[in-house]
Amino acid sequence: MAVDKKKAAEEFKNRKVPRGIFAVRCTGTGATWVDSSPNLSAARNGTWFGLRAGGFRDKALQAEWNTRGEDAFEFEILETLADDVSAMNLRDVLKEKKRYWAEKLGATALP
Protein backbone atom coordinates (compact mmCIF):
# COMPACT_ATOMS: atom_id res chain seq x y z
CA MET A 1 0.00 0.00 0.00
CA ALA A 2 1.56 3.27 -1.12
CA VAL A 3 1.57 6.22 1.23
CA ASP A 4 0.68 9.57 -0.27
CA LYS A 5 3.38 11.65 1.44
CA LYS A 6 1.95 14.95 0.29
CA LYS A 7 -1.50 14.10 1.62
CA ALA A 8 -0.07 12.78 4.91
CA ALA A 9 2.00 15.96 5.37
CA GLU A 10 -1.05 18.13 4.69
CA GLU A 11 -3.17 16.18 7.19
CA PHE A 12 -0.45 16.50 9.83
CA LYS A 13 -0.16 20.24 9.22
CA ASN A 14 -3.93 20.73 9.49
CA ARG A 15 -4.54 18.55 12.56
CA LYS A 16 -6.18 20.11 15.59
CA VAL A 17 -3.79 20.20 18.53
CA PRO A 18 -5.52 20.45 21.92
CA ARG A 19 -4.58 23.63 23.80
CA GLY A 20 -5.30 24.39 27.41
CA ILE A 21 -4.46 24.03 31.08
CA PHE A 22 -3.00 21.11 32.98
CA ALA A 23 -2.00 20.21 36.54
CA VAL A 24 0.90 18.25 37.96
CA ARG A 25 0.06 16.73 41.35
CA CYS A 26 2.19 15.07 43.96
CA THR A 27 0.09 12.23 45.35
CA GLY A 28 2.21 12.06 48.50
CA THR A 29 1.72 15.66 49.60
CA GLY A 30 -1.21 16.93 47.54
CA ALA A 31 0.93 19.78 46.24
CA THR A 32 -0.31 20.93 42.84
CA TRP A 33 1.25 22.98 40.07
CA VAL A 34 -0.72 24.44 37.16
CA ASP A 35 0.53 25.38 33.72
CA SER A 36 -0.78 26.08 30.23
CA SER A 37 0.23 24.74 26.85
CA PRO A 38 -0.56 25.41 23.21
CA ASN A 39 -0.07 21.64 22.76
CA LEU A 40 -1.53 19.52 25.55
CA SER A 41 -0.57 16.36 23.68
CA ALA A 42 3.10 17.18 24.24
CA ALA A 43 2.81 18.91 27.63
CA ARG A 44 3.20 15.82 29.84
CA ASN A 45 6.21 14.52 27.92
CA GLY A 46 7.90 17.92 27.99
CA THR A 47 7.25 18.40 31.71
CA TRP A 48 8.39 14.88 32.64
CA PHE A 49 11.47 15.24 30.43
CA GLY A 50 12.49 18.46 32.20
CA LEU A 51 11.93 16.92 35.63
CA ARG A 52 13.84 13.72 34.77
CA ALA A 53 16.75 15.83 33.49
CA GLY A 54 16.88 17.59 36.86
CA GLY A 55 16.75 21.17 35.65
CA PHE A 56 13.06 21.97 35.62
CA ARG A 57 12.20 25.69 35.65
CA ASP A 58 10.27 25.49 38.94
CA LYS A 59 12.72 24.62 41.71
CA ALA A 60 10.06 23.59 44.26
CA LEU A 61 8.48 21.11 41.84
CA GLN A 62 11.92 19.79 40.92
CA ALA A 63 12.83 19.35 44.60
CA GLU A 64 9.57 17.48 45.28
CA TRP A 65 10.19 15.27 42.23
CA ASN A 66 13.74 14.54 43.40
CA THR A 67 12.50 13.64 46.89
CA ARG A 68 9.42 11.59 46.02
CA GLY A 69 10.21 10.16 42.59
CA GLU A 70 8.29 10.04 39.33
CA ASP A 71 5.72 7.51 40.56
CA ALA A 72 4.41 10.06 43.08
CA PHE A 73 3.22 12.44 40.34
CA GLU A 74 0.12 12.66 38.20
CA PHE A 75 -0.65 14.74 35.12
CA GLU A 76 -4.21 15.96 34.59
CA ILE A 77 -5.72 18.05 31.83
CA LEU A 78 -7.96 20.60 33.52
CA GLU A 79 -9.39 22.49 30.56
CA THR A 80 -9.15 22.33 26.79
CA LEU A 81 -9.71 25.55 24.87
CA ALA A 82 -12.31 25.80 22.13
CA ASP A 83 -11.03 25.76 18.56
CA ASP A 84 -12.35 29.28 18.00
CA VAL A 85 -9.69 30.93 20.21
CA SER A 86 -7.56 32.81 17.71
CA ALA A 87 -3.80 32.46 17.56
CA MET A 88 -3.56 36.18 18.27
CA ASN A 89 -5.44 35.83 21.57
CA LEU A 90 -4.07 32.42 22.57
CA ARG A 91 -1.27 33.62 24.86
CA ASP A 92 -3.57 35.94 26.84
CA VAL A 93 -6.33 33.34 27.14
CA LEU A 94 -3.89 30.67 28.35
CA LYS A 95 -2.41 33.10 30.88
CA GLU A 96 -5.85 34.02 32.27
CA LYS A 97 -7.03 30.39 32.43
CA LYS A 98 -3.82 29.32 34.19
CA ARG A 99 -4.31 32.05 36.80
CA TYR A 100 -7.97 31.00 37.28
CA TRP A 101 -7.11 27.31 37.80
CA ALA A 102 -4.21 28.05 40.14
CA GLU A 103 -6.51 30.14 42.33
CA LYS A 104 -9.35 27.61 42.18
CA LEU A 105 -7.11 24.71 43.20
CA GLY A 106 -4.88 26.63 45.60
CA ALA A 107 -2.02 25.57 43.35
CA THR A 108 1.25 27.10 42.25
CA ALA A 109 1.19 28.55 38.74
CA LEU A 110 4.32 27.46 36.91
CA PRO A 111 6.39 30.26 35.38
Q: Region 100-106: what's the mean pLDDT?
A: 98
Q: Region 45-67: what's the mean pLDDT?
A: 98
Q: Is residue 7 part of a domain?
A: no
Question: Model pTM greater than 0.75?
Answer: yes
Res. 7: pLDDT tops 80: no
The count of structural domains within the chain is 1
Q: Is residue 79 part of a domain?
A: yes
Residues 62-82: tens digit of each pLDDT: 999 999 999 999 999 999 999
Q: Is residue 2 part of a domain?
A: no
CATH assignment of the domain containing 95: 3.40.1440.10
Q: Is residue 6 part of a domain?
A: no
Domain that holds residue 52: 19-109
Beta bridge partners of 35: 22
Q: Region 49-57: what's the mean pLDDT?
A: 97
Alpha-carbon torsion, ordered 21, 103, 30, 108, to 10 deg: 70
Q: Is residue 84 part of a domain?
A: yes
CA–CA dist 108, 7 (Å, integer):
43
Q: Is residue 81 part of a domain?
A: yes
User: What is the structure's pLDDT at 6?
Assistant: 80
CA–CA dist 93, 87 (Å, integer):
10
